[in-house]
Structure 1
């Protein structure tokens, strides 16, 4: 039903949706309202064809203007694509494509860390507070941080997999630069991002300096 409504390019009634997939109107209404609740569709009451007829105005459905993505474990291919596109756009004279990608990743990470620092407005940011903030922020980006020891945070998921497996030197370099930039923007001088590849995990870990 969802695919039918997207293809229709107009508001669709419950009767139309039910007929398309061969189920009852009542069952169609149940699933359509579930899709509304999930944020995939929007619904309103509107005369069919814009003409008001006798009787109850039918409920119509349209796709919500949102992107819905589900990935388990989390992947951030959009972030990697943005970094690479920006690197191509801003590549300087005498700068290689790889250097531009690493520079752009560090800049994006720095912006993220600086935004965190602005919200925190800390004085001196010690290692423990920096690691805790990094855990909070990087969890949102799909890194699945886990404290393996008081001074070390492992990142159990690579948001850029499987691209990292296809080109580990480039993608891990971008990842490392992104996390270095994040710590620099956060002013977390007591923590460093180091390359420490482990099977099935991100290639970078965060640890006290």
Structure 2
């Protein structure tokens, strides 16, 4: 227990530097690997300074590293692989004094699941989502709640999503705010999460009038819910 607390304190202390916070937020929000040049440009600092801070974040367990050829080329003349970074999977929670809200969450989820109260939980989550600020962009609401939305590249040259009722734009959610509980109670928590996002989206449009609908579309990484854009006025 003490070792876990020490690791969490170390992670938090690493983010005390404002430059590291900017770098971490940028790298953590991206769905893939990030190179030093891109991170440095986003933070407005030199590449060498970005490298120093990024490696400090790795030492603290907040980021993980790999080596890739960022040009996408292979074979002779492709150049040496570059060091790249992405958010580490490990969670860090700090509470002073120590609290055990995660234990309470697991107990409550277990009781709800055993009692078969899935629909009641989803109704409560949907209602909670609707209480969010009515005039706020729904994508902003998701970002503020830690979902880290990003636009998924379109798969075909015509920009069609193949279902005939959208404009081809899909938003993926890089982070699941309920990851630990979702791993233990996937059906319950993912159903609640979908309902919560449906509530957040209800009656709200993004800038330019874009309307979103939430669908269950689990992937190996990130949130189980994706957002599909509807045609304006639909």
Normalised by the length of structure 1, the TM-score is: 0.46
More helix, by proportion: 1
Q: Larger Rg: 1 or 2?
A: 1
Higher RCO, Cα 8 Å, sep 6+? 1
TM-score by length of 2: 0.41
